[in-house]
Amino acid sequence: MVIAAVDGSERAQQAALWAADEAARRGAELRIVEVTEFTDTDERERAMLDHVVRRCRQETPDLPVSDRVAHGHPATELVRASKEADLLVLGAHERTASRWASAGSVATRVATHAECPVVVVREPRRAGGVVVGLDGTVLEQQALHFAFTAARRRGTELIAVRARDLVRAAERFPAIPPLDFEVQAELDKARRDLDHSLEGWNERYPDVPVCREVRCGHPTAVLLHLSARARMLVVGHRGTGGFAGMLLGSTAAGVLRDAECPVAVLRGTETPRS
């Protein structure tokens, strides 16, 4: 089941439509959830929820769509809802005030604690490849599974990325900056690591074209740059360093706030969900 969270904003409604399309691709049910901190649901909120459900049914007529109102704090209730979902979808808010505040609060907390993959949608895309950020942790196999499956469902390419932050690498040479051959050695190692990460995946997904990207720069900056031409951006997190730890610091907020495409966040689990 795909769950889409709505709050009355237009972006949340666009995210719900994105979720409807995703559910149809998966052959799954869609559930539209509104979370309110008030104990009673007023007529305006009920009308909003009915409106979103109608829009989703118009876009995907054969899709099973249900709705539910949950009472409580949005992040808490959405994390609870994630226990019964295969995917949880939220809309990214403007950087100004909104009922749920910024993407750096509710969305980041949900993505950090949810028990299923979370997609935060700012701008739905119907073109471009699926970008996946890889960092050598055990979580990258889950990220690859999700990203390859998403690319196959959309008939598009997978762009596998490894970023090498040469500023950090230079910290190992405090007296002098690294020489050109040392920089090249770092990039060559990153390419070998990327090739190793992708071993066997072409055989599992022979119909998905793969583009391999090794970039210099901080992972967040690299991913944000690539998001400008991506259909989806996929990252994993486990709470420490690199791509895997982005969600616990300001870099995570930057990706969720500024990426120009839907961002899929995978929390480490024993069984990957796609």
User: Mind listing the pLDDT tens digit for each residue in 163-199?
Assistant: 888 765 555 555 566 667 777 888 899 899 999 999 9
Please say whether the beta carbons of 246 and 237 come within 8 A: yes
Residue 138 has pLDDT above 80, yes or no: no
Average pLDDT for residues 4-33, to the nearest whole number? Answer: 95
User: Regarding beta strands 30-36 and 2-6, do their DSSP bridges make them parallel or antiparallel, or are they unpaired?
Assistant: parallel
Average pLDDT for residues 114-128, to the nearest whole number? Answer: 92
Percent of the chain at pLDDT above 90?
53
Residue 83 has pLDDT above 70, yes or no: yes
Residue 30 has pLDDT above 90, yes or no: yes
Bridge partners of 121, per DSSP, are 91
Bridge partners of 210, per DSSP, are 158
Average pLDDT for residues 109-134, to the nearest whole number? Answer: 92
Looking at the chain, the domain(s) classified CATH 3.40.50.12370 span 130-266
Beta strands in the chain (DSSP E): 2-6, 30-36, 65-71, 87-91, 118-121, 129-133, 158-164, 210-216, 230-237, 263-267
The residue that leads in pLDDT, 6 or 237, is: 6
**pLDDT of amino acid 99:** 43
**pLDDT of amino acid 272:** 58
**pLDDT of amino acid 25:** 97
Average pLDDT for residues 131-154, to the nearest whole number? Answer: 91
DSSP states of 71-139: ES-HHHHHHHHGGG-SEEEEEPPPSS--TT--TTTHHHHHHHH-SS-EEEESS--SSSEEEEE--SSTH
Q: Which of 4-13, 81-90, 115-124 has the highest mean pLDDT?
A: 81-90
Looking at the chain, the domain(s) classified CATH 3.40.50.620 span 2-121
Q: Which CATH architecture has domain 130-266?
A: 3-Layer(aba) Sandwich (3.40)
Give backbone dihedrals phi and psi of 243, rounded to 5 degrees, phi first.
-55, -40
The residue that leads in pLDDT, 272 or 260, is: 260
Written as six digits, the tokens of 130 are 């699926």
- For all residues of the chain together, what is the average pLDDT? 84
pTM, two decimal places: 0.87
Q: Which of the four pLDDT bands, split at 50, 70 and 90, describes residue 119?
A: very high
Average pLDDT for residues 257-263, to the nearest whole number? Answer: 89
**pLDDT of amino acid 97:** 40
**pLDDT of amino acid 51:** 94
**pLDDT of amino acid 209:** 98
**pLDDT of amino acid 26:** 97
Residue 151 has pLDDT above 50, yes or no: yes
**pLDDT of amino acid 8:** 84
**pLDDT of amino acid 98:** 43
Residue 95 has pLDDT above 80, yes or no: no
**pLDDT of amino acid 146:** 96
Q: Which CATH architecture has domain 2-121?
A: 3-Layer(aba) Sandwich (3.40)
Lowest mean pLDDT among 13-17, 45-49, 86-90: 45-49
